[in-house]
Amino acid sequence: MKIIVYHKGGFGNQLYQFALAKYLSSYYDAELICDITYFKVDIFVGNTHRNFELNKIFSNLNVRSSFYTLIFNFLALKYLRNNRSFFYLTDNNFKSNMNLFEFKKVKYLILNGYFQNNNNILKQIDHFIYSKINIFNSNYIIDHKTSLCIHIRKGDYLKYENIYTNLTPSYYFNGIRYLNNKYKINHVIYIFTDNINWVKLNILNNKLYNYKIISTNSTIEDFRLLSTFKKVIISNSTFSLWSTYLTLKDKIDVIAPQKWYVDYSKNIDFIDNNLPKSFILLN
């Protein structure tokens, strides 16, 4: 049996896709193939110009790319029915056809989706992450016993305000106040962001705290460093969410937004299936 996962989207999305594919490949003792064709033809598939990053932290990935497989995959999803040879595992607006698969064995299991609504993911993190990922090496020296970090995701979210909740400055300041009341913050607050101008206009103008913007110009380096903080205020981004997943056992406080998606039911589903109970949810 071969499991082929079509990777697409940002680093957080890639981790969701890989998590499910890795779990299934372990379950079946099947060969896992990471298809990265979507990143080669983003002009056709509407990709937001992201890069495939998993090979920078996972070793020995079986990676392929072929424009012909992308065409075949598109036609198969449109015209072919699942059979004994092929099963296309998909999701659409958090609705997966996983229940139709029922863990039956086929020749090719093909994953094409984001798979963010799978409540088995959190149960499997230890299984496939801790022994096989290298995220803990960073060039920055930070006193993590006292330090707090914030992740602010804007970028493409500002273009899709009908889908993603546009978190306001008050969310971040509510998080800071919560931690300040608990710990009396008198140190630097580190900020990771994809929109420095927004941070300067909306966060740095508050002079009550001392801030430092971290800009490594590397998705992986930002992810590694973000994962090492013990007190974190994350955004409604799977990038910062996964950075907390991977070091959750070491976290002291993780503050997360109550609103991730504009659609109410989708937001509730995401929180129920993706956020650990230890997270502190704020508006």
Tokens 């609705």 correspond to 95
Residue 158's pLDDT band, with cuts at 50, 70 and 90, is confident
Write out the two tokens for 216.
Answer: 């490594």
pLDDT tens track for 6-17: 998 899 999 999
**Inter-residue long-range contacts of 262-270, CB under 8 Å, 24+ positions, other chains counted:** 262/161, 262/162, 262/163, 262/164, 262/165, 263/163, 266/93, 266/94, 267/165, 269/94, 269/117, 270/94, 270/116, 270/117
Residue 41 predicted with pLDDT over 80: no
Instruction: Count each helix (H run) and each strand (E run) in the chain, helices first.
Output: 11, 12
Q: Specify the 3-state DSSP secondary structure of 3.
A: strand
User: Considering the entire predicted model, what is its pTM?
Assistant: 0.89
Name the most confidently modeled range: 88-92, 108-112, 198-202: 198-202
CA distances from 136 to 17, 51, 222, 225, 237 (A): 22, 21, 11, 8, 21
Most confident stretch, 49-63, 115-129, 143-157, 190-204: 190-204
**Whole-Å CA distances, 46 to 30, 39, 219:** 31, 10, 20
pLDDT digits (tens, 9 = 90+) for 223-268: 988 988 999 999 999 999 999 988 888 889 999 999 999 999 999 9
Dihedral-angle region of residue 9 (phi above 0 means left; psi in -120 to 50 means alpha; beta otherwise) = left
β-bridge mates for residue 2, sequence order:
31, 108
Least confident span in 76-85, 116-125, 180-189, 226-235? 116-125
